[in-house]
Each structure stands twice: as C-alpha cells, then as structure tokens.
Amino acid sequence: MKKILLALSLGASLFANNIEISEPYVKITPPNAKNSAIFMSIKNNSNEDIKLVDAKCDFAKNTEIHTHIHEDGMMKMIRIQDATIKANDTLELKPKSYHIMLMDIKDSIKEDTKLNLELSFSNGETVELKDIPAKSIIHAH
C-alpha cells in the first residue's frame, strides 16, 4: 500500500497518483457539540471509477462516510460503505450531500481548530490531509 504524505496550505490542491483533494474544511460547532463534518472536493484523474472506502480522524472517536437521502419526504443522513468518484470526474463533499462525519469529537471545533484526516481509496491509495481549517457553515433556508 502506498502512503503519500501531503502538507496542506489554504487553497492548494493535493495530488496522490490518481486522486486530487481540494479545499477541505471542517465545520465549526457550537460549544458541547458531539459531532461535526468535513467537506472537500475529490477529483479522480484516472480512467476508472475509484471509491472512497475509509476515513480516519484522530479528533473523533468514530469517522464515517455519510450522505443525505430523500425518504418519505424528509432529508435523512445515512452512513454509507463508500462513495464513488467517477473516472475523470469530481465528487463534491458538501453540506446536505456526501461528507465525512466526525462522531463523538474530543472538543468543540472553533475557528483556530486544525484537524488531520486520512482517506483510503479502493485503488489502494491513501491520502493524508494535515491541518484542515475550520469554517462556519451558513445554512440557506
């Protein structure tokens, strides 16, 4: 298994062999919140579909891949085993869509919080993101 360590600077894109990660950020939480989410763009530069199969973050007890579905007229968040990034395409992890869910976080996430995240893909690539910045999310209603 190849392991690629990448330093992160704001606005930079990170390249593994076939995977390119851009603009990762973690959602700022209110005090005493137990969960948060990480968002980013994942670009697949290969000619085959690749799946995001695992995520690990040392800031949370559990790190899961989630998405939202419409069921019985309601939006529900569900855990999924993987998320497919189509060949030569980009998967957006964003609010109300695919995201990395951080369950039982160690502390509330503030503006100066920086997190590390390790992503594993079905093609054997692993991408380590360092110092992911925190952002607040404004929900439009």
Q: What angle do CA 2, 100, 36 make, to 5 degrees?
A: 135
What average pLDDT does range 131-135 have in this prediction? 96
Contact criterion met (CB below 8 Å) for 9 and 24: no
In a domain? residue 138: no
Please report, for the domain that includes residue 50, its CATH number.
2.60.40.1890
Residue 71 lies in a domain: yes
In a domain, 23, yes or no: yes
pLDDT at 62: 97
**Angle 83-45-84 (CA atoms, 0-180°, nearest 5)?**
10
Segment 39-66 mean pLDDT: 97
pLDDT, tens digit, for every residue of 69-106? 989 999 899 999 999 999 999 999 999 999 999 999 99
The two structure tokens encoding residue 22: 């851009």
Quote the CA–CA distance of 56 and 62 in Å, as a whole number.
8
How many domains is the chain built from? 1
Read off the pLDDT of residues 4-39 as tens digits, 9 standing for 90 and up: 444 444 444 555 579 999 999 999 999 999 999 999
- Kindly report the pTM of this predicted structure: 0.85
Query: Does the residue 139 lie in any domain?
Result: no
Q: Is residue 135 included in any domain, yes or no?
A: no
Residue 54 within any structural domain of the chain:
yes
Distance CA 56, CA 86 (A): 22
Range of the domain at 7: 3-128
pLDDT number for residue 17: 76
Question: Do the domain assignments include residue 140?
Answer: no
Top-confidence residue, 27 or 138:
27
Distance CA 35, CA 50 (A): 27
Between CA 33 and CA 79 the distance in angstroms is: 19
Average pLDDT over residues 29-53: 96
Residue 137 lies in a domain: no
